[in-house]
Structure 1
């Protein structure tokens, strides 16, 4: 493609790829066959970026949450900054972004690089960065019921994506987690959940994996005793349990960490069913 974006590479889809190296190689194909007139937008904070940059003949733009970039976009204090054509411009203040989560700040930085490479004006980029409120199944606010906010993040089909969702909230959380595992580690997920989530409602095929991850990390850390765990068979039962245990001011967050294929055609079908169940409360 003329403009290719790789937002991040972390362990994922290892139920389909024989190894992490094979997964990285598959991801790199999007930039490997570009021309010198094309653009590759890469995450400077990701460990695989030097390898990707070396594989592409395209011009490279970097984005970063952690450090200034020579050419691209980065977060500096409370501002999103573009450094392009030997000039710096402020895209927008951090406070202007409507999307939750630091991962979405990174997404905006990446999108700004891609937009610039495609000839979009700074004014248009600023307008979108400060007004875009998200799309379905990605931290989608479904309903506020009895003072409880229900959020659909069915797109989170890996533990890492679920971690990003959990970290996006300061409110106490009732987390709906489960689905089908993709042969990924749940250790870091368990660490984050035990420190930030009040209640976990686990459902689907991944229940034993989630139970084990929470039990083992709790034993190793000696903490997280206040995080409650309920296990159920289905999403329907999970929503019912969440409605029962959630308190006013809390967030019920569907961010499963597993795929939907144990019960649904895809993550969109799972998210749509979640909406239906919440609407029926």
Structure 2
């Protein structure tokens, strides 16, 4: 488990005893009229135990336990610990893209900047934030990815030292031209620049999007922009391929040819094999883009 942040991190003294920075709000008496010990909550619990319980409750989607743990930390003067933990749980235990991150941030701002963190309104914010995280989709995907990639990095390094191939490699492998991720090596990279992979390559291959594809409006804009390009003449097939969704089962493979002609990978114009991928007719004469961005069908 991570530490409690740079300002109030627990440390151990030379004699092995735990040294902490207990804020004034966290001192005083517990619910039983006894003076609180270091890191003790008002209910008589260790704040470390309550904080850990909060994380496990969020992870296991136990709303009641999460709400109580957050309330206990907030009312006991450990709101700083609570909000630090909740923000960590958002990235450690929830599905990527969850809007709960913004929700927690807003509740924290209300509880700590507008109201008193351990007051009634501050406690309500704590409960709301805990409930929001507990109700969100739980997953350890980011933490699992970090652990897996770190283990692979170590394995690759050991394999290189032995002069062997690693048992496990990164998803990108060697990331070299001609490999699975060849399309990533466009003009924005050294390898792509060496191969003259400029605007044509990027527009027709590198800028394609996921299996859902571009929506109708975006596709129209892209076709129009490419058709109006004064430097590159695109064939009808190139215009269509540029906005076609990638294959969900094989999102990285690009055809060696578009419109039946070899892709020469560069962006020159003319009849010298300069990358005008097509059958000799460019977008201005074969399948021209109309003012509304659609393609005129000359097949009839």
TM over 0.5: no
The structure where strand makes up a greater share of residues is 1
Higher gyration radius (CA): 2
* Greater relative contact order (CA < 8 Å, ≥ 6 in sequence): 1
TM-score band w.r.t. shorter chain: under 0.3
Higher helix share: 2
